[in-house]
Amino acid sequence: MSRYQIDPLNSTFGALVLGIDLSRPLDDSDASCLVGDLLKFRVLVVRDQILSHEDHIRVSRLFGEPEIHVQDQYTVPGFGQIVTISNIHRNGVPIGMYDGDNEQEWHTDLSWKPAMSAVSLLYSVIAPGVGGETRFADTTAAYDDLSAELRARVDGLNAVHSMVYLFERQAADNPVKVPLTETQRAQVPDVVHPLVRLHPQTGRRSLLLGDMILRGIVGVDEAESGQLLDQLHAHATAERYVYSHRWAVGDLVIWDNRATMHTASPCDHTRHQRLLYRTTVM
Ligand code: SIN
């Protein structure tokens, strides 16, 4: 039994965690409740937190070991596990990832790696007055609701996830997008993952999608693959499966990458700044 309160969001997933102070270590009981609640609700929203980078890493370790991020130009000095997400530009150069005014890319964090990520923790330091929400899709409920025919079609299919392809597509929309260096490109070869993912802890299945990172479905011709992926994305991002998080300073949102996907939303960087820090555990 936790000493904090958990209020489910009015959705198929997600919950608000109340009465918790993550700037101090949790006792064992609350720590294991928080891990269990994430498995149950898939997205946890914790408001009004004052977290140092050390706190952020400590809380992340409740879920696993935070990964050192490949795009080291965006990691916090001294904290290779914390990546800066921001639309702030200094001398014309973005200080963080997701810097464009029209950032929208449904994805699961680090799906371009051979080993898939488990959990991400995103902490808000500067929140925009307008725009810049993070939208989460419940890919678990979306899978459950597929017709038996569509389920039979997608179970067993694999898709190619490509960070290089993603960057090429994003650069076409965002002229100040900083390209991957040759070293970074060499670190991110294309990888293949199943289209339907089995959660190692809950045993539930979910759709593993990504509307810009997927080159296509293995062994399916380009037109058919594109049509099937479009159909699955449209289904999984229907309003009934989406929770849109409007950021306030001090919010920490924790999500299960093995059961959801998410996207940033448009934000005019000339009028509204956003600065967040993210860790991802494997
Ligand atoms: C992320 O994809 O981890 C960040 C999402 C956002 O910028 O809202």
104 touches 131 (CB < 8 A): no
Closest atom, ligand 1, to C-alpha of 264? 8
Q: Is the shortest distance between the CB of 109 and ligand 1 below 6 Å?
A: yes
What's the pLDDT tens digit per position in 247-273? Answer: 999 999 999 999 999 999 999 999 999
Q: Is the shortest distance between the CB of 264 and ligand 1 below 6 Å?
A: yes
How many domains does the structure of the chain reveal? 1
Closest atom, ligand 1, to C-alpha of 133? 8
Question: What is the C-alpha to C-alpha distance for residues 205 and 101, in angstroms, rounded to an integer?
Answer: 34
Q: Is the shortest distance between the CB of 98 and ligand 1 below 6 Å?
A: yes
Residue 108, both tokens = 């699961």
278 closest CA partner among 255, 246, 249: 255
Residue 179 has pLDDT above 90, yes or no: no
Beta bridge partners of residue 278, listed in sequence order: 83, 122
What's the pLDDT tens digit per position in 88-136? Answer: 999 888 899 887 788 889 999 999 999 989 999 999 999 999 999 999 9
CA distances from 8 to 21, 167, 168, 169, 243 (A): 19, 36, 39, 36, 12
Question: What is the C-alpha to C-alpha distance for residues 96 and 103, in angstroms, rounded to an integer?
Answer: 13
Residue 68 has pLDDT above 80, yes or no: yes
CATH at residue 140: 3.60.130.10
97 touches 107 (CB < 8 A): no
DSSP summary character for residue 247: P
The identity of residue 122, as a single letter, is L
List phi, psi (to 5°) of 221.
-65, 160
Ligand 1 centroid to Cα of residue 36, in Å, is: 23
* SS3 call for 244: strand
- Its pTM stands at 0.95
Q: Is 203 exposed, middle or buried (0-12, 13-18, 19+ CB in 10 A)?
A: exposed
How many alpha carbons lie under 13 Å from residue 162 in its C-beta half-sphere?
Answer: 15
What's the pLDDT tens digit per position in 181-191? Answer: 889 898 889 99
User: What dihedral do alpha carbons 149, 154, 156, 157 form, nearest 10°?
Assistant: 150
What's the pLDDT tens digit per position in 9-65? Answer: 988 999 999 999 999 999 999 999 999 999 999 999 999 999 999 999 999 999 999
The per-residue pLDDT of the chain, averaged, comes to 95
What is the residue range of 90's domain? 5-281
Question: What is the C-alpha to C-alpha distance for residues 271 and 267, in angstroms, rounded to an integer?
Answer: 8
Ligand 1 centroid to Cα of residue 263, in Å, is: 6
Give residue for tokens 């935070």. 66
- Of 263, 273, 279, best ligand 1 pocket probe by most atoms within 8 Å of the beta carbon: 263
177 touches 96 (CB < 8 A): no
**Whole-number pLDDT of residue 149:** 96
